[in-house]
Each structure stands twice: as C-alpha cells, then as structure tokens.
Structure 1
Amino acid sequence: MQPMQPAPHMQPMPPAPPMQPGYPYQPGFPPQRRGSGAKAFLLGWLISGFGATAFALLLLASYEDLSKVGMRVLYVVFALGLALAVGGVAGKMGGPNPGAYVAPALLAMLAVFMGVCNGFVFVLLDAGGADAFEAMMEHQAGAPAEFWWKGLKGGIALLGLAIAGGGTFGMASLIGKRAR
C-alpha cells in the first residue's frame, strides 16, 4: 500500500467577467432580436389603406379645380408623405431587421397606385353616376389603371411608385437603426 499523499493543490477558477450595463447576456450568447416584422406589416397595411382612401377622397373633393399638373404634384407629394409615415412606423415596429421593411414598402407602393385608381372611380361615380360606372366596367374594366398610367404621364406614375417604395424602405432603415 502506498502512503496517502496530499491532494494536489487546485487553483480556483477565475471569476466570470462582470456584466456590462446595457448587455444583459453572458458572453457567447447573442442578444435577442428586437422588433416585430408582423407589427411592421400590420401597421404598414393600416396606414397604407388609410392613406390610399384619404388620397382618393382628396381627388374626389378637388377634381373640378385640379389641373393635370396639380394632380401630378399632388401625387408625388402624397407618395412622399406616405413613404415617411409608413417607413417611420415600419422602422419603429420592425427594429433593426431590414426584412421587416420590404412588405411595408410594397404596401406603400400599392397604396399610391390604388389611391389614384380609387380616386378615378369615385370621380366617375360622382360625375356620371352608377350608369357610367357600369358602362366602364363592361367595356373597359382597366380604365382606372389606364388613367393612372396615362393621366400621370407614365414617368410620373413610376416616380411616385419609386418614391413610395424606396422612401418607405429608406425611412424604415433610418428609424430601425436608431432603435438599436
């Protein structure tokens, strides 16, 4: 038998690094993502729908006094305003996740298009009544989209879409980065 030998001296483990303020996780664990793509989508959808309806009603209220140039300027201003509103909300709700900005940008583009198309239908119903609307739907169902393209001279129509989509994504990115 061997005589008992003292256990080798074990050195204590170094203490864990202290938690840093603003970073509540242990080193090695990634922080949880903040923001919700679903909330960004839902609020973007609501604001886009409200904006498209408001623009259509504005066209209805002012169609007798609005020139073609005035309508084009109003369209571009509407696209910019909608981009700022939807982008701001999408950035706030989506957080730093750029994937949460794509759907609100597409919704803003759709709202710009639908605002003009619905405005055309509202004006047609106001000026010509239900009979004119029914005749249009029978013979030329694409007239609202054609009005959007031809009434805004194609290039302005595309400019409004670009402002709405790109502006929404850019504004959401700017607000989302600040939310970090």
Structure 2
Amino acid sequence: MGQFPPGQQFQPMRPPGYPYQPGFPPPRRGSGAKAFLLGWLISGFGATVFAGLLLASYEDLSKVGLRVMYVIFALVLALAVGSVAGKVGGPNPGAYVAPALLAMLAVFLGTTNGYVFVLLDAGGSELLEAMLEHDPGSPAEFWWKVLKGGFALLGLALAGGGVFAVASIVGKRQR
C-alpha cells in the first residue's frame, strides 16, 4: 500500500458525476414555509390594495370596468405571489400550492372587502349593520352576481393557476 503525499488525505471513491457522498441525499433547496409566509403577506397586502382601489374608484367605475380591474388584479397578484413563491420555494412544486390558494382567497376577499368599504363610505355604519343583519352573505353575493359568475371564477383560476405556473417557471430556474 502506498503512502499519500504530505498534506493530502485519503479520498473515498465516488461514482462519476455524483457530487455527494453515497447514502446521503442532496441538500434540499427552497422552503415551503417561507413560500407560504411570503405568499400570505403579499396576498393580504394585494387584497387590501385592491379593496382600497375599489373604494377610491367606485363612483366612476362601471360593471365592465370592475370586471376588467378584477381580472388585471388577479393577474398582477399571480405574478407577484408566483415569482416570490418560486424563488423561495425552489424547485419543489409542493411549496406552490398554499401560495396559490392564498392568492385565490385574496382575489375573493379583495373584492368583498372593497364592497364593504364602499358601503361604509356611501351609507355609514348604520347601513352596513342593517344590510349585514338582513343578509350577511351580501358581500359574497356581490362578488358572484356583479362579476357574473364566469368572471368571478376566471379571476380565481387566473390567480391560483397563475401563481402555480409562475412559481414553477421561477423555481425551475433556481436549479
């Protein structure tokens, strides 16, 4: 058996092209928990901004304008949440599911909260209390009826599917 030159240690044989020692999995990249947390924060911020935009523009906004604004909001939210979830979640597709669901929830809550903000601004708290006592589901009915159902579902699909698609693209580039 030969001696090693001074300063060099014994190196175990590894299969070619395998940078890790056999028996140990490669280190995980990405964090599903961080993707969830950042998706939650961005979705909550986006829903609040959209509700504020509805409040600021309700006097001049038509039903068609509301539908266009809703679809654009779903797309912008999908890009924002998807890019962050893909960057933080890495190539793990399981890390994209929760942010996609959170974006869908944000699209819904942004619209319904905007409706509540408009009612508070237009009629005050007495009108809002009376309306919610008589029909507590009216914000959800507003979301469904004013957006004609199809646009409501389109916004949800764009938000959820867009987050997953963008996160997948960004996550694969992380490899």
Structure 1 length-normalised TM = 0.88
The equivalent position to 1:63 in structure 2, one of 33, 58, 75, is: 58
Q: Are the equivalent residues in 2 in contact too, given 1:60–1:123 (CA < 8 A)?
A: yes
What root-mean-square deviation, in Å, do the aligned CA atoms of Structure 1 and Structure 2 show? Answer: 2.2
What are the residue-to-residue correspondences of 1:14-163 with 2, within 5 Å? 16-17=13-14, 24-163=19-158
Separation (CA, whole Å) in 2 of partners of 1:126 and 1:47:
26
Moved over 3 A (4+): 17-20
Separation (CA, whole Å) in 2 of partners of 1:15 and 1:67:
72
* Residue 29 (structure 1) shift: 2.9
Separation (CA, whole Å) in 1 of partners of 2:153 and 2:54:
19
If you compute each CA radius of gyration, which structure gives the higher value, 1 or 2? 1
Segments of 5+ residues of structure 2 without an aligned counterpart are: 3-10
Separation (CA, whole Å) in 1 of partners of 2:134 and 2:46:
29
Q: Are the equivalent residues in 2 in contact too, given 1:19–1:26 (CA < 8 A)?
A: no
* Residue 164 (structure 1) shift: 0.2
Separation (CA, whole Å) in 2 of partners of 1:18 and 1:172:
33
* Count of residues in Structure 1 that have an aligned counterpart in Structure 2: 169
Identity level (%): 78
Structure 2 length-normalised TM = 0.90
Corresponding residue of 1:7? none
SS at match of 1:16: coil
Q: Are the equivalent residues in 2 in contact too, given 1:19–1:25 (CA < 8 A)?
A: no
> Which amino acid in 1 is paired with 2:74?
A
Q: Are the equivalent residues in 2 in contact too, given 1:108–1:164 (CA < 8 A)?
A: yes
> Which amino acid in 2 is paired with 1:110?
L
Separation (CA, whole Å) in 1 of partners of 2:140 and 2:12:
69
